C-alpha cells in the first residue's frame, strides 16, 4: 500500500510540475508590450565631426538597491538610442563622443502606516530615484576640444501591492520622462558650449 501511495504521490507531483511549465507561455504572453523608445520625431543636430561614438562609463551593479537593469528600457540604453537618432556626423575630421557618466535608478523602501490606521491606508511602498548624467565631447587628435553636459533626475513612487506588470509600466513611463528632460537639457547645453561645432 505504501509503495502504491508513494507512486501516486510522485505521479501527482509530476503532473503539477508539467502544469506549471505549461503555464509559463501564458504568463509571458501577459507581460505588457512596450513601444520602441526613439527620438526620430525630433530634428537631428548636425555636428562638425566624422563620427559619433557612445561610451558607457556607468556600469550597473545589477542588484538592489539598483534596479535600472530591470527596466523595459534601461536609461543607459535610451541614451545610446538618443545619440543615434539625434546626432548626425556632418564633418570630416573630429570625433563626437557621448559619455554616459551616470544612468542609475535606486529603489528606496518607504515607511508603512502603523496601527489600526494602516488597515485602511494604501501606502506608497517604494520610491524610484533615477539619475542620468551625460557629456557630449568634441575631440581631435590632441584631445577634447569642447564639451557640453547635462544631469537630470526624476523620482516616482508606487503603491503597495502593485503588480509586476504595472510596475514595469511605471518604469517605462519614467524612462520616457527622464529622457525628455535629458534631451532638452543636453540640446540647451550643446547650443551654448558646442555652438562652434553645430552646423
Domain residue limits, the chain: 1-30, 35-197
Q: For a pLDDT cut of 90, what percent of the chain falls above it?
A: 74
Q: Residue 81: CB partners within 8 Å, gap ≥ 6?
A: 37, 38, 39
For range 174-199, the mean pLDDT: 98
For range 165-170, the mean pLDDT: 96
Could you read off the pLDDT of 78-131 as tens digits, one per residue? Answer: 999 999 999 999 999 999 999 999 999 999 999 876 666 555 555 678 999 999
Of 130, 151, 143, 58, nearest to 97 (Cα)?
143
* Beta bridge pairs of residue 134: 100, 150
Cα→Cα distances 119→66, 67, 160, 189, Å:
30, 29, 12, 49
| 198 secondary structure, DSSP code | B
Cα→Cα distances 174→54, 129, 131, Å:
22, 10, 11
Output the pTM of the full model.
Answer: 0.80
Q: Residue 145: CB partners within 8 Å, gap ≥ 6?
A: 94, 138, 139, 197
Residues 139 and 97: beta-carbon distance below 8 Å: yes
Assign domain 35-197 to its CATH architecture. 2-Layer Sandwich (3.30)
For range 169-173, the mean pLDDT: 97
149 — pLDDT class (breaks 50, 70, 90): very high
For range 137-159, the mean pLDDT: 96
Could you read off the pLDDT of 25-81 as tens digits, one per residue? Answer: 444 446 778 999 999 999 999 999 999 999 999 999 999 999 999 999 999 999 999
38 backbone φψ class: left, alpha, beta (φ>0; ψ -120 to 50): beta
Query: Could you count the other beta carbons within 10 Å of the beta carbon of residue 87?
Result: 22
Amino acid at each position: 500500500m505504501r509503495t502504491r501511495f508513494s507512486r501516486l504521490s510522485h505521479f501527482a507531483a509530476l503532473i503539477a510540475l508539467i502544469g506549471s511549465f505549461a503555464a509559463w507561455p501564458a504568463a509571458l504572453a501577459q507581460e505588457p508590450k512596450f513601444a520602441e523608445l526613439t527620438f526620430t520625431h525630433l530634428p537631428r543636430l548636425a555636428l562638425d565631426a566624422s563620427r559619433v561614438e557612445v561610451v558607457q562609463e556607468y556600469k550597473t551593479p545589477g542588484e538592489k538597491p539598483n534596479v535600472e537593469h530591470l527596466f523595459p528600457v534601461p536609461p543607459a540604453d535610451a541614451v545610446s538610442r538618443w545619440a543615434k537618432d539625434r546626432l548626425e556626423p556632418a564633418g570630416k575630421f573630429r570625433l563626437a563622443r557621448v559619455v554616459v557618466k551616470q544612468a542609475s535608478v535606486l529603489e528606496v523602501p518607504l515607511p508603512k502606516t502603523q496601527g489600526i490606521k494602516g488597515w485602511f491606508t494604501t501606502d506608497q511602498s517604494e520610491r524610484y530615484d533615477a539619475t542620468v548624467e551625460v557629456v557630449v565631447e568634441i575631440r581631435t587628435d590632441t584631445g577634447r576640444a569642447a564639451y557640453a553636459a547635462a544631469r537630470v533626475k526624476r523620482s516616482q513612487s508606487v503603491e503597495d501591492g502593485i503588480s509586476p506588470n504595472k510596475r514595469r509600466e511605471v518604469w517605462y513611463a519614467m524612462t520616457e520622462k527622464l529622457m525628455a528632460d535629458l534631451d532638452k537639457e543636453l540640446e540647451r547645453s550643446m547650443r551654448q558650449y558646442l555652438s562652434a561645432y553645430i552646423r
